[in-house]
């Protein structure tokens, strides 16, 4: 039988299309070819990169550039402060409302839902730089940087690692329909640009320009900055602690990712809300969390224990 006419083949393609919008369709998939890139499912990811070429048609304005930068900063903080330090490691406490607000902002980063992110990151810490680690650089730069993200195994959320988070239906919904928030953000940026073109033409922007710069360019840069911690922070930098993985501390990655580049610190003691263990180690996410604490939005930020600092000195 012609494979293209095989109803099972057609059903597989329809299932892949459905998983663009509803990740619950991943449940119960067979284990075969889990580590191969699912090219059909990866098409939206590829299309986002191609859409960045739109800058040659829409041009640029200070308004578009500042909005792109602001969205990069806000979403990077949501990823590093909440997807990582809160959902993945539970290094501080907050209210359910604040938890959901930053989960929404993190979901706008197009790095999938908070449950998916936490499950994969917890798996990484258990198996860092072993054969079971999906994004170890030992498997190659591109595999660790983006390839793992596009595999069938990479698309799944492992519920066994996130039992503490599954009790929140709003987080389960965000994880299941992880494309909703990015689509809404893109639509809002287009509408804002159209409104500014009409009501504030002196700003020199419009709907297509804000869509390209505020959403596509900002989001693609944000993604690649975030995953440098997988691909580069296990290869380049200094090792303060003798961990069983290849993690390094890297100042430049720390600046780019708001503190995540102090990766050897983090792998030695992931239970702290602070990753720049020394005062000179710039950790913008830590400063942001301290600011939220001053306003009562977060609490019980876990510090770096004295024994951890002493261990490094020895």
For residue range 172-183, what is the model confidence (pLDDT) as tens digits? 999 999 999 999
- Structural domain spans, the chain: 41-313
Predicted confidence (pLDDT) at residue 10 exceeds the cutoff of 60? no
What percent of the chain shows pLDDT beyond 90?
Answer: 84
Task: Evaluate if residue 278 carries a pLDDT over 70.
Answer: yes
Confidence of residue 312 (pLDDT cuts 50, 70, 90): confident
pLDDT of 23 higher than 80 = no
| pLDDT > 70? residue 277 | yes
State phi, psi for 232 to the nearest 5 degrees: -110, -35
Q: In the prediction, which pLDDT does 314 show?
A: 57
Instruction: Give 3 or 189, the one with higher predicted confidence.
Output: 189
* pLDDT band (50, 70, 90) for residue 35: confident
- The arithmetic mean of pLDDT across residues 280-307, rounded, is 98
Residue range 223-245: mean pLDDT, rounded: 97
Please state the rounded mean pLDDT for residues 25-45.
74
pLDDT band at 13 (very low <50, low <70, confident <90, very high): low
Q: What is the mean pLDDT of the chain?
A: 92
Give the CA angle between residues 9, 13, 14 to the nearest 5°: 115
* Dihedral Cα 109, 129, 307, 252, nearest 10 deg: -50
pTM, full prediction: 0.92
64-69 own/partner pairs: CB under 8 Å, 24+ apart: 64/193, 64/205, 64/209, 64/210, 64/212, 64/213, 64/214, 65/213, 67/189, 67/210, 67/213, 67/214, 67/218, 68/213, 68/214, 68/217, 68/218, 69/218
Among 288, 292, 265, CA closest to 276 = 265
Give me the pLDDT at residue 34, please: 81
CB < 8 Å & 24+ apart, contacts of 276-283: 277/240, 277/304, 277/308, 277/309, 277/312, 281/249, 281/251, 281/254, 282/251, 282/254, 282/255, 283/254, 283/258, 283/259
pLDDT in tens, 118-164: 999 999 999 999 999 999 999 999 999 999 999 988 988 999 999 99
Query: What pLDDT, on the 0 to 100 scale, is given for residue 167?
Result: 97
pLDDT digits (tens, 9 = 90+) for 51-63: 999 999 999 999 9
What is the model's pLDDT at position 8?
46
Specify the pLDDT at position 153. 87
Query: Is residue 215 over pLDDT 70?
Result: yes
Tokens (6 digits) for 24: 């619950």
Residue pair 98/244 in contact by the 8 Å Cβ criterion = no
pLDDT at 14: 62
Dihedral sign, Cα of residue 125, residue 129, residue 135, residue 137:
positive
**Stretch 6-10: mean pLDDT:** 47
d(CA 305, CA 144): 31
């Amino acid at each position: 039988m012609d494979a293209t006419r095989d109803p099972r083949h057609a059903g597989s393609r329809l299932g892949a299309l459905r998983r663009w919008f509803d990740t619950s369709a991943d449940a119960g998939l067979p284990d075969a070819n889990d580590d191969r890139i699912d090219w059909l499912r990866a098409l939206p990811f590829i299309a986002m990169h191609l859409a960045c070429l739109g800058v040659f048609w829409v041009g640029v304005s200070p308004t578009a550039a500042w909005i792109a930068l602001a969205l990069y900063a806000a979403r990077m903080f949501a990823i590093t402060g909440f997807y990582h330090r809160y959902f993945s490691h539970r290094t501080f406490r907050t209210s359910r409302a604040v938890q959901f607000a930053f989960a929404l902002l993190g979901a706008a980063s197009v790095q999938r839902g908070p449950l998916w992110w936490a499950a994969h990151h917890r798996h990484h810490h258990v198996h860092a730089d072993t054969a079971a680690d999906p994004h170890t650089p030992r498997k190659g730069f591109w595999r660790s940087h983006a390839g793992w993200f596009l595999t069938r195994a990479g698309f799944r959320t492992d519920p066994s690692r996130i039992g503490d988070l599954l009790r929140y239906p709003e987080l389960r919904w965000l994880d299941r329909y992880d494309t909703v928030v990015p689509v809404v953000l893109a639509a809002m940026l287009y509408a804002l640009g159209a409104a500014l073109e009409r009501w504030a033409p002196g700003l020199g922007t419009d709907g297509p320009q804000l869509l390209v710069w505020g959403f596509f360019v900002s989001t693609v840069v944000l993604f690649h900055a975030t995953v440098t911690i997988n691909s580069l922070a296990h290869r380049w930098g200094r090792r303060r602690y003798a961990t069983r993985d290849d993690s390094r501390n890297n100042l430049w990655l720390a600046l780019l990712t708001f503190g995540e580049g102090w990766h050897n610190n983090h792998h030695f003691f992931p239970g702290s809300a602070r990753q720049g263990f020394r005062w000179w180690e710039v950790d913008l996410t830590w400063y942001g969390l301290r600011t939220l604490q001053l306003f009562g939005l977060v609490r019980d930020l876990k510090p770096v224990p004295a024994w951890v600092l002493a261990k490094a000195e020895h």
